[in-house]
Amino acid sequence: MKQFPPSELLNSLPKQFFAALTKKASQFIEQGHDVINLGQGNPDQPTPEHIVAKLQKAAANPLNHKYSPFQGFHYLKKAAAEFYLKEYGVKLNPDKEVAILFGGKAGLVEIPQCLLNPGETVLVPDPGYPDYWSGIALAKAEMVTMPLREENHFLPNYQALSSENLAKAKLMFLNYPNNPTGSVASEEFFEETVRLANDNNICIVHDFAYGAIGFDGMKPPSFLQVKGAKEVGVEIYTLSKTYNMAGWRVAFAVGNESVISAIELLQDHLYVSLFGAIQEAAAEALTTSQECVEELKDLYERRRNVLIDGLREIGWNVTAPKGSFFAWLKVPQGFTSEQFSTILLEEAHIMVAPGIGFGEFGEGYVRVALLSSEDRLKEAVRRINSLRMF
């Protein structure tokens, strides 16, 4: 069969880190091993029943069998605006400040293509979500990393950015609660971010995927809560984590009108909006009781406590995350993150994500997902203890 070579653009894309990780674990599963998968960020709980029921009813409506409006139904945009007002006190114009997305990842990958020309500069957190890199590569833009260090609570130190890089930067990605570190930003940090963006004409993209998941009684703030934030950026909110709707592929961007307009223009050329029944179900999730969200947050907090307490008991000095459904754990001395991850998989049949997969400053850590039952987390602790590394 004749082979048609891929374009230079495809060859320039970063390797899909999580695809390789999953393939490696699958090999052990195929060999009959009981692998505890703590490496992926795939919610393990079902979508709440009232949301599923809304989808089932809406799917039977012939109106939803037609093409949806290109930029989504107005009722879903209105629901997103109502949600932000209720949860964060942020007023949004649903017609101009909300864009419906095909999952949060789509928006994060699209924005660099919407706003950047080839060679322009983006500031990205390191460690950070690898799909930020994908959008930057597709835009043929340049990436400057902002190290996230434990001594600074895994927040970027803006004072460490050179004046040259600040002058060149057109876009900045942030993500709190943070993947992979589990750290949470304060409103004071977001205020500093708004000042920096204003002073240097930088558009801020805040990935708020884990916004519903804060621990120890703390509610993670929205970037848009800060005065002036809408003028300098947007926030991406996905229903994947808040409502266990990962496979439904529905999210939205909110904030700066010009960015929202650019996203919708690009999407007009890529899609014809989401299936109407999914949009109805998403509106149901956003506008009805949020008790299911509280229950989910409490579940993750219990799992966090089981894992962290268990690891501390076996001698692993680990730090508890403040949000998200990930724990960011220092590897034992003498091992790289990949070496330690390989030992856990091959000898204990536990899959974790090596920190180097999230960037240079992820080295020395592994990311562990709180997406298995408490019993499975206890079993993971028991298996780690059997390795006698601590």
pLDDT tens for 151-205 read: 999 999 999 999 999 999 999 999 999 999 999 999 999 999 999 999 999 999 9
In a domain, 340, yes or no: yes
Backbone angles phi, psi at 364, to 5 degrees: 95, 0
Of the three residues 287, 317, 350, the one that is the final residue of a domain is: 287
Low-confidence winner among 36-40, 76-80, 110-114, 225-229 (lowest mean pLDDT): 36-40
Segment 273-283 shows an average pLDDT of 97
Please indicate, yes or no, whether residues 63 and 129 belong to a single structural domain of this protein.
yes
The CATH number covering residue 258 comes to 3.40.640.10
In a domain, 1, yes or no: no
Domain span at residue 359? Answer: 8-46+292-386
Of the three residues 257, 287, 317, the one that is the final residue of a domain is: 287
Non-local (6+) Cβ contacts of 322 within 8 A are 177, 182, 183, 184, 214, 215, 216, 218
The CATH number covering residue 299 comes to 3.90.1150.10
Please indicate, yes or no, whether residues 230 and 310 belong to a single structural domain of this protein.
no
In a domain, 352, yes or no: yes
In a domain, 218, yes or no: yes
Q: How many domains does the chain have?
A: 2
Position 16 pLDDT exceeds 90: no
Q: According to the model, what pLDDT value does residue 389 have?
A: 87
In a domain, 181, yes or no: yes
Pairing outcome for strands 326-330 and 365-369: antiparallel
Q: According to the model, what pLDDT value does residue 24 have?
A: 79
- Using CA atoms, how far apart are residues 135 and 140, in angstroms rounded to an integer? 9
Segment 302-315 shows an average pLDDT of 97
Of the three residues 256, 287, 318, the one that is the final residue of a domain is: 287
**Residue 13 DSSP class:** S
pLDDT digits (tens, 9 = 90+) for 213-262: 999 999 999 999 999 999 999 999 999 999 999 999 999 999 999 999 99
Please indicate, yes or no, whether residues 66 and 192 belong to a single structural domain of this protein.
yes
Average pLDDT of the residues of the chain:
95
Please indicate, yes or no, whether residues 207 and 271 belong to a single structural domain of this protein.
yes
In this prediction the pTM is 0.95
Low-confidence winner among 4-8, 79-83, 245-249 (lowest mean pLDDT): 4-8
